[in-house]
Structure 1
Amino acid sequence: MNIILLGYMGCGKSSIGKDLASKLEMKCLDLDDYIETQEKKSINQIFEDKGEIYFRKKENLYLKEALETQNNTIISLGGGTPCFVGNLEIIKNNENAKSVYLKTSLQELVNRLFLEKGKRPLIAHVSSKDDLKDFIRKHLFERSFYYNQAEYVISTDDKAVEEIATEIKNTLF
C-alpha cells in the first residue's frame, strides 16, 4: 500500500511523510523532489524556464510513474498536485493508495510560509503577510474541493510532526 499525503504548501507533507515512513518502516517519496531529480532542475527553475503548464504536465506524468512503480511508500504531493490534470482521480482510482489531507488553518499557513516564501515560486512575489493571507485564502477556497476528497482528513494545527504522523498511523492501521 502507498499513503498519499496532500494539502496546501506548508502544511507539513514532506516532514510528516519522512516521520510517518520511519514509524511504519516504509519508503518515502516527495513528488517535488522526484520531479527535480527527473528533470535535473529545481521546481523554481522549471517554473521560470518552462512555465506552470509544462510543470503540471510533468507532475502528472511523474505521479502516475510513482504510483505504478512504488509500493509500501509514503508519497508527499505538491500543494497543487491534486487540483490539476485529473491527478485526484488517478489517486482515488488507485486500489493500492490511501489519501490523507493534512488540513492546516489559514493563519498557521501564513505564519509558516511567510518565512520561506523565497523558496516557493507561487508566493515569492508576495511582499506582506496580509497579501500572503489573501493569496492563500483564495487558493484554499479553490483547492479545498479537491483536498476534502481525500479518504482521511487530519488537522495539523498546534501539533508536532511526530504527533501528526502517529495520528495518521493510528487512523490507518
Structure 2
Amino acid sequence: MSKNIILIGYMGCGKSSVGRQLAKNRQMDYIDLDDYIEMKEKDTIREIFKNKGEVYFRKIEATYLQECLGSLKNTVLSLGGGTPCFGNNMQTIVEAINSPSVYLQTSIGELAKRLFTEKDKRPLIAHTKTVDELTEFIAKHVFERSQYYLQSQLKVSTNSKSVEEIVTEIGSLIEV
C-alpha cells in the first residue's frame, strides 16, 4: 500500500469529503492540511489571512506540507486549493516517495454551484457577490493554477459523480 495519497484541486472539488471516505475505505489516517495548519498555529485560516497576510500563510503552508510529507505514513492528505501553486510545493508533492498525487478535476460551473452557498467561509472568494462574478473568478483562478494541478500523477474527474464513485475510481488507479 502507498505510504500516503495526496489530494489536490481547486476549492470545492471534494478533497475533504473524498479524502475522508478514501481513508476510511483503505484503513488509512486522514489529514486536511488546512486543519493541520490551524492546529499548529492555534488560529483559523481566515484569521491567519486577515492578521498576518497571504505571504505569511503561504510560507507556513509550505513548511507544514513538508512536515506532513516527511512524517506521515499510511495517510490521505488533502491540500488547500492553492497549496500546489506556491513556492516549490508542487515539486515537493511530485517528489514525495510512495505518495501519489491525485488531481480532482471539476468543471468551473460545478465549482461555482458548490461554492456559492459557502463563499462567506472562504477568504479567497468571500468578496464575490453573484454566481456570475464567482464563476468568472473561479475560471481565472483555475486557469492560472491548472499548470500546477496537471502535474499530479493521477487525474480524476469529479463531475456528476458521488463521493463513493470518486473514491472507487481513485482506488482502481492506485495499486493496493
| TMscore range, shorter length | over 0.9
Equivalent in the alignment of 2:69 = 67
1:138 corresponds to 2:131: no
Aligned length: 173
Return the alpha-carbon distance in structure 1 between the equivalents of residues 116 and 92 of structure 2. Answer: 32
TM superposition shift of 1:97: 1.1
Equivalent in the alignment of 1:123 = 125
Q: TM-score, normalised by structure 1?
A: 0.99
Return the alpha-carbon distance in structure 2 between the equivalents of residues 120 and 65 of structure 1. Answer: 25
Residue type at the aligned position of 1:54: Y
What SS does the aligned partner of 1:97 have? coil
1:39 corresponds to 2:41: yes
* Structure 1 runs (4+) greater than 3 angstroms displaced: none
Equivalent in the alignment of 1:97 = 99
Return the alpha-carbon distance in structure 1 between the equivalents of residues 141 and 113 of structure 2. Answer: 16
Residue type at the aligned position of 1:137: A
CA RMSD in angstroms comes to 0.5
- Percent of matched pairs sharing the same residue: 57
Residue type at the aligned position of 1:92: V
Q: Which runs of 5+ in 1 are unaligned?
A: none
Return the alpha-carbon distance in structure 2 between the equivalents of residues 162 and 52 of structure 1. Answer: 34
Residue type at the aligned position of 2:40: Q
> Residues 126-163 of structure 1, C-alpha deviation per residue, up to 9 Å, x if partnerless?
10011101100100110000001100000000001111
What SS does the aligned partner of 2:96 have? coil
Return the alpha-carbon distance in structure 2 between the equivalents of residues 163 and 97 of structure 1. Answer: 21
Equivalent in the alignment of 1:108 = 110
Q: Which runs of 5+ in 2 are unaligned?
A: none
Which of 152, 157, 169 is equivalent to 1:150?
152
Q: TM-score, normalised by structure 2?
A: 0.97
